[in-house]
Amino acid sequence: MSQFTILVVEDEEAIRSMLVMVLQQYHFEVLAAGDVAEAQLILEDTLPDLILLDWMLPKVNGDEWTRRLKASENFRDIPIILVTAKGEEADKIRGLDLGADDYVTKPFSPKELVSRIKAVLRRSGKIHDLTQIKFQDIILDTTQHRVSIADHVIDISPTEFRLLSFFLSHPDKVYNRTQLLDQVWGRSVYIEERTVDVHIRRLRKILANYQREDWLQTVRGFGYRFSDKNI
């Protein structure tokens, strides 16, 4: 399976960062926007697997954007979960009428949110199994936070776990440091690019214990890729 990208549209900074953090902890790739205009820009280069959309937004509201997306040929298939503040019955019904796939009512627990997201992804046919990512004899279990290589369960820190999870979901593709920072650490976090190298080295060390370090390849002048093929 590949990893899933979720676009979070929320104007309140604190809630937005919280949502980004929670979703990253559950191994989603997360893109975030503060309003519809920003979200629209993101859609120009990335098609998310799901949009988590706040109902109350400045300028264009969540319900209005839902209506527009569902009317557009390019974006109508992206599932939308609306986030409503008060849980007013009328809002929920209107949201679903407009084509939203589900809604959650603030406040909600991370667990509830994630299970709603998974349910919508499942219904939309995007996932059958969210738990395991396999690459040759490496098996990464996202629910149990466990990695095994050649049947050995290995010790791995959360950051290396996310990095490995990203690479395993995107084999053979080259990513530069900025892209890895965006994808693995998230755009909202400021970290120096050197940090990426540090974690790559740690991950390589882990892989080296099982003679798999050649799979985490440095592409000179560009970045890194995970592949069992030679460059």
Q: Is 11 in the site for Ca ion (CB under 5 A)?
A: yes
Q: Is 63 in the site for Ca ion (CB under 5 A)?
A: no
Nearer of residues 11 and 64 to Ca ion, judged by Cβ: 11
**C-alpha–C-alpha distance, residues 162 and 146, integer Å:** 11
- Phi then psi for 6, rounded to 5 degrees? -115, 130
What residues contact residue 110 under an 8 Å CB cut-off, 6+ apart?
A: 22, 25, 26
SS3 147: strand
Kindly determine how many residues on this chain lie close enough to bind Ca ion according to the rule CB under 5 A: 3
Nearer of residues 7 and 147 to Ca ion, judged by Cβ: 7
**C-alpha–C-alpha distance, residues 198 and 196, integer Å:** 5
Q: Is 101 in the site for Ca ion (CB under 5 A)?
A: no
Q: Is 197 in the site for Ca ion (CB under 5 A)?
A: no
Nearest distance, CB of residue 92 and Ca ion, angstroms: 16
Bridge partner list, 219: 223
Q: Is 154 in the site for Ca ion (CB under 5 A)?
A: no
138: nearest Cα among 218, 203, 219, 223: 203
Stretch of residues binding Ca ion (CB under 5 A), selected from 7-15, 95-103, 168-176, 200-208: 7-15
Reported as type and span, the H/E element at residue 39 is helix 36-45
Stretch of residues binding Ca ion (CB under 5 A), selected from 11-19, 38-46, 129-137, 177-185: 11-19
Q: Please check whether residue 77 is in contact with residue 105, taking contact to mean a CB–CB distance below 8 angstroms.
A: no
Stretch of residues binding Ca ion (CB under 5 A), selected from 48-56, 160-168, 177-185, 194-202: 48-56
Q: Please check whether residue 149 is in contact with residue 138, taking contact to mean a CB–CB distance below 8 angstroms.
A: yes
Out of 29, 49, 54, 63, the residue judged to bind Ca ion by CB under 5 A: 54
Q: Is 15 in the site for Ca ion (CB under 5 A)?
A: no
Nearest distance, CB of residue 85 and Ca ion, angstroms: 7
28: nearest Cα among 149, 192, 199, 169: 169
Nearer of residues 9 and 43 to Ca ion, judged by Cβ: 9
The residue at minimum Cβ distance from Ca ion is: 56
18: nearest Cα among 132, 107, 146: 107
Q: Is 56 in the site for Ca ion (CB under 5 A)?
A: yes
Q: Which residues bind Ca ion (CB under 5 A)?
A: 11, 54, 56
